[in-house]
Amino acid sequence: MSLNSQNSTETENPKNANVQWGGRFAGGPSEIMQAINASISFDKVMWKQDIAGSLAHAAMLAHVGIISKEDEATIRKGLTEIGQEIAAGNFPFSEALEDIHMNIEARLSDRIGEPGKRLHTARSRNDQVATDFRLWVRDAIDGLNQQVAALMRSLARRAEEHAATPMPGFTHLQTAQPVTFGHHLMAYVEMLARDRGRLADTRKRLNECPLGSAALAGTSFPIDRKMTAELLHFDRPTANSLDSVSDRDFALEYLSALSIMAMHLSRMAEEIVIWCSSPFSFIRLSDAFTTGSSIMPQKRNPDAAELVRAKTGRITGSLVSLLTVMKGLPLAYAKDMQEDKEPVFEATDAAALSLAACDGMVRDMTANTAQMRALAGSGYSTATDIADWLVRVLKVPFRTAHHVTGRLVAKAEEKGVGLADLTLQDMQAEEPGITDDIYSVLSVDASIASRTSEGGTAPGNVSAQAQRWLKVLGAEPTAAGQ
Ligand code: ARG
């Protein structure tokens, strides 16, 4: 676009009217108009969905006798060839033709003449774009769903491997109680399972076909909306034509689900960053998932994890962006809604890359089990086990046991030793009923092994959970290479 066109209300080529809708226009749009109006630069990614929608529409038009079978066959052949042309990178995309819908339709008419001009009968770009976009989001959900499953599988495998590896469990990022590394990894499997559930819910609600709603009011042609819905693998046609062309809930639900998932991935990424830092040194990432510093030769930076953490901003931003576009729009379609696509495309790319990076890091990381075990026992992490022993063996009320244990922690702190290093006399000074048996609960392994309550960190629980998920996920169809 040239800068001086900003001052011109007329176009440089007044006869350049749009070939699709330019009938009543004497001139074409200004360059600025064209630049703000065109979406082809980004909506071309929906070409497959647009062709699928048109094929279904044409088949239906022929089935009910609105166009002839011969015209439908010609349209089908034309659209198939256009698909090949686009796939091969030979399609002449034109900004003047605004979007993917008009680019393909104009090309069809160029190639096959009159039958091509019949395709848009009983349809509008409003129901067309609503259909294409639903199909695109549905495909994206299916792709991401596979990726989430792959990540869950990798996590469960690593969790099985580390079902009995102690690590410090934190609350407030303060050492709380020992847990196993496997248990920690399985927590993310649960989060991701809910993310998949949200994507599946979105898909279920999305799966109604708006095609045939036409511009906003429906059509006077005797169309068969059930047929197009079925051909495009929707569960049913949508019920209200106004709602159909103005609804973008499916995209918003999708972005909401992605935002929550991105938040989960960001938390995982943040933990990877912490675990890799030298004061923690819980894990190590290989050269494949780290970068070096240009000045500090010793550095091994977890850039992939940091970028996963950061990409959350784009994904959440996309949700806010589309919510803002949609808020306050009167029914039915308004061109504002063309701004629905980039946030969805951008969030999808960011989510796919983040999932791939997380999967890569989870497979790649090596656990520093000695360091994790050492820190699991530091910070009086088995204090709760003392309190529980007092309750269980001496029948002391828990609140009292908590106070006694608090005094024992203070004593250990004073002497600069761990709880297991306190003498029996030290212990009995606070609670005379304490016996030698209390030492049996003070080790990290004993603490972990005792957490056998449902959902607890005992190694047996953790490997059972990991195996359960591997079985569930293993039974599902997987994407190639996973
Ligand atoms: N490119 C447009 C979009 O994405 C297609 C629908 C245009 N409809 C219209 N009435 N101008 O929203």
Q: Is the peptide bond prior to 479 cis by the omega test (within 30 degrees of 0)?
A: no
Query: 93, 128, 129: which to mutate for ligand 1, most atoms within 8 A of CB?
Result: 129
Match domain 36-119 to its CATH number in 1.20.1260.10, 3.30.1700.10, 3.40.50.720, 1.10.275.10.
Answer: 1.10.275.10
Q: Give the residue, out of 42, 47, 99, with the most ligand 1 atoms within 8 A of its beta carbon, to mutate for a pocket test.
A: 99
127 touches ligand 1 (CB under 6 Å): no
The reply to whether ligand 1 has any atom less than 6 angstroms from the CB of 126 is yes
Q: Which fold has domain 125-374?
A: Fumarase C; Chain A, domain 2 (1.20.200)
Q: Is pLDDT at 327 greater than 50 in this prediction?
A: yes
Say whether pLDDT at 296 is over 80: no
Predicted confidence (pLDDT) at residue 96 exceeds the cutoff of 50? yes
User: Does residue 248 have its Cβ closer than 6 Å to ligand 1?
Assistant: no
Centre of ligand 1 from the C-alpha of residue 280, in Å = 53
Task: List the catalytic residue out of 68, 286, 293, 378.
Answer: 293
pLDDT at 19: 73
Contact (CB, 8 A) for 339 and 131: no
pLDDT score recorded for residue 482: 41
Q: Which of 172, 278, 294, 453 is catalytic?
A: 172
The minimum-distance atom of ligand 1 relative to the CA of 99 is: 1
Token look-up 């819908």 returns 101
Phi, psi of 283, rounded to the nearest 5 degrees: -135, 165
Compute, in angstroms, the gap from residue 285 CA to the centroid of ligand 1: 47
* CA distance linking residue 316 with residue 255, whole number of Å: 8
pLDDT of residue 459: 98
What distance in angstroms lies between residue 59's CA and the mean position of ligand 1's atoms?
23
Alpha-carbon distances, residue 66 vs 55, 73, 74, 118, 225 (angstroms): 14, 14, 15, 9, 13
User: Which atom of ligand 1 is least distant from the CA of 341?
Assistant: 4
- pTM for this model (two decimals): 0.91
Give me the residue spans of the domains in the chain.
36-119, 125-374, 380-473
* CATH level 2 (architecture), domain 380-473: Orthogonal Bundle (1.10)
pLDDT at position 163 over 90: yes
Residue 287 confidence (pLDDT): 87
245 band by pLDDT with thresholds 50, 70 and 90:
very high
pLDDT band, residue 16 (cuts 50/70/90): low
**pLDDT tens-place string over residues 68-83:** 999 999 999 999 999 9
Alpha helices in 236-380 (DSSP H): 241-246, 249-276, 303-326, 341-364, 369-376
Q: What stretch of H or E contains 247?
A: none
Lowest mean pLDDT among 7-21, 183-197, 333-347, 391-405: 7-21
Answer whether 99 contacts ligand 1 (Cβ < 6 A): yes
